[in-house]
A = this chain, B = another copy of it.
Amino acid sequence: MQKTPDKEWDQIWVGANIATMAAGAGPYGSIENAALAVKGERIAWIGPAEEGRSVAAAQNLPVQDARGLWMTPGLIDCHTHLVYGGNRVEEFEKRLCGVSYEAIARAGGGIQSTVQATRTASREQLHASAAVRAKRLMSEGVTTIEVKSGYGLELAAERRMLEVARDLAAELPVSVKKTFLGLHALPREFAADRQDFVAQVSGPWLESLAAAGLVDAVDAFCENIAFSLPETERLLQAAAQLGLPAHVHAGQLTDMGAAELAAKWGALSADHLEYLSAAGAHSLAAAGTVAVLLPAAYFTLRQTTPPPVGLLREAGAALAIATDCNPGSSPCTSILLALNMACTLFGLTPEEALSGVTRQAARALGALDDIGTLEVGKRADVAFWRIERPAELCYGMGANPCVDVLYRGALRAH
């Protein structure tokens, strides 16, 4: 049990069950009938309800009754493409009405249509549509969102996407991690010279965006329909020289060895991983690179080969879960649905899934020191749930038992 602090607390919640999600602290790091105290933006104390009550009384601090609730860390969506122009509803409908992928692509569909819509969207349009999606995530207890660029694919448009991501966090009570996904797709104007594009992205574009404070990490879509291992490595190398961490889209459609490359460069995460060898899983584990699984994309694309969860477990890799929110392969703004799908489609246990949007998602963002578990000293980002056991967060489809969210120690307005 932690000692009571010298300084007074600002707020205390008493009587909830707390899923701290701390490592090695038993299932869900649970403490029943507990109390959590906050000082400023930080968690000041966690302990038994009775002790919390008596210390609060000694401090003349009013106690907030949380009986009947569970508290968890604020959820973390560690892989999204939240900022984009337009949508792909028309394409979704055409496909279901029998129009082929090829015909859609010829008509300017697919990712290039989102690039076009993003380039032509105003900053206000990008911001407003992303804010709607961010609020949906936030309504389910999300307090940190990773947001990738990658639909601009020209410097000004990539910058605008990252600025919009930054501004979301200024407007809304949510943290945003900004990822420069320079190598997402080859824009048409570089069709004849992909090496020049990779050089621009890894050189002046990255330097310019990083200098503006817009890059928390880089990312590349390493896949046979996107960028090769050497192309991806060029960006990873450039990021390393600037001291920036990396994510890698790896093994979504084929096993090219992208996971091994991510591990080689000490990437924070390798994401998707439907196609991954035992060697790849071991290299992720050895490097501490988090395996980020994206079940809503797997679902939407009607994939049939799930990520090798057994191999990843055996290797001891960390597993995270995210929505992959994007207009094409995962128009998903529900992190609880991603939890359900991780269990149902990939066979994760509810505890693994919930760890995947708390502790392991924090690790995937390089932020585990600050967020991801409920422990003294960490940011007071807390979700309150009207549930009877933590697995309920994975079980329901369409339910939202989130009743309150504390962000940096302050209750969000409803």
* Given A333-B399, A334-B397, A334-B398; A392-B347 close (CB under 8 Å): no
Inter-subunit contact A92/B395 (CB<8 Å): yes
Inter-subunit contact B398/A333 (CB<8 Å): yes
| Interface residue? A300 (CB, 8 A) | yes
Q: Which residues of B contact A343 (CB under 8 A)?
A: 92, 96
| Interface residue? A389 (CB, 8 A) | yes
**Which of B300, B334, B397 is within 8 Å of A331, CB to CB?**
B397
* Given A87-B395, A398-B332; A302-B92 close (CB under 8 Å): no
- When chains A and B are docked, how far (Å) is the Cα of A400 from the Cα of B337? 13
Q: Which of A329-346 contact B (CB under 8 A)?
A: 330-334, 336-337, 343-345
| Interface residue? A299 (CB, 8 A) | yes
Task: Report A69-106 CB contacts with B as 1/0, cut-off 8 Å.
Answer: 00000000000000000011110110011000000000
Q: Which residues of B contact A299 (CB under 8 A)?
A: 344
Q: Which of A308-348 contact B (CB under 8 A)?
A: 323, 330-334, 336-337, 343-345, 347-348
- When chains A and B are docked, how far (Å) is the Cα of A347 from the Cα of B96? 6
* Given A87-B392, A300-B344, A302-B344; A349-B93 close (CB under 8 Å): yes
Number of copies: 2
Inter-subunit contact B333/A396 (CB<8 Å): yes
Total contacting residues, chain A, CB less than 8 A: 41
- When chains A and B are docked, how far (Å) is the Cα of A8 from the Cα of B136? 41
Nearest chain B residue, comparing its CB with the CB of A400: B136
Inter-subunit contact A397/B96 (CB<8 Å): no
Q: A105 → chain B, closest Cβ, in Å? A: 19
| Interface residue? A63 (CB, 8 A) | no
| Interface residue? A350 (CB, 8 A) | yes
Q: Which residues of B contact A350 (CB under 8 A)?
A: 92-93, 96
User: Which 3 A/B pairs are nearest by Cβ-Cβ distance?
Assistant: A334-B398, A332-B397, A93-B391
Would you give 16 A-B contacts (Cβ < 8 Å), ordered by A?
A87-B395, A89-B391, A89-B395, A90-B389, A90-B391, A92-B395, A93-B394, A96-B343, A96-B347, A96-B348, A136-B398, A140-B398, A300-B344, A302-B344, A330-B397, A332-B397
